[in-house]
Amino acid sequence: MCMNYASFIVKIVEKPKQRFSNNQIIVTEVLIKFSQIKNQANSLGSIFYISIWGNLTYDFVRYYEINDYILIEGYISIRENLFNDLIYRSNKHVEISVFRVHPFILKSV
């Protein structure tokens, strides 16, 4: 049993970006935001990239759009920061490698 396995409900913030890995496997990277955290000026820590590999990328790009809520299952890892240090104040960031994606529909009570 892996200790870094997790599932989250997240909101898609940005259009997915696709690329090929060194092994010619397609990878989709998506900027997401945790849905539990309210909009605050200090909420940059709730924004993460997720990586989706292989055939799941085609379904993801086909069925999901910006502002959709999804349930993701995957593995958490710490990566070197490749982004502007003004946004992310650390030289490392969290990335989630996703192996399952499920639609999540919010219902008003």
Is 101 in contact with 65 (CB distance < 8 Å)?
no
Residue 93 lies inside a defined structural domain of this protein:
yes
Residue 74 lies inside a defined structural domain of this protein:
yes
Residue 109 lies inside a defined structural domain of this protein:
no
- Phi, psi (deg, nearest 5) at residue 57: -65, -40
Residue 108 lies inside a defined structural domain of this protein:
no
Range of the domain at 55: 5-103
- The pair of three-digit structure tokens given for residue 104, joined into one six-digit string: 């999540």
Q: How far is CA 60 from the centre of its chain?
A: 12
Total of domains in the chain: 1
Is 63 in contact with 57 (CB distance < 8 Å)?
no
Residue type, 98: V
Per-residue pLDDT tens digits for 74-93: 988 877 655 454 455 556 66
Residue 91 lies inside a defined structural domain of this protein:
yes
Q: Domain with 17 in it: what CATH number? A: 2.40.50.140
Sign of CA dihedral 13, 44, 74, 11: negative
Residue 10 lies inside a defined structural domain of this protein:
yes
Per-residue pLDDT tens digits for 20-71: 888 888 989 999 998 665 655 555 567 888 899 888 998 899 999 999 999 9
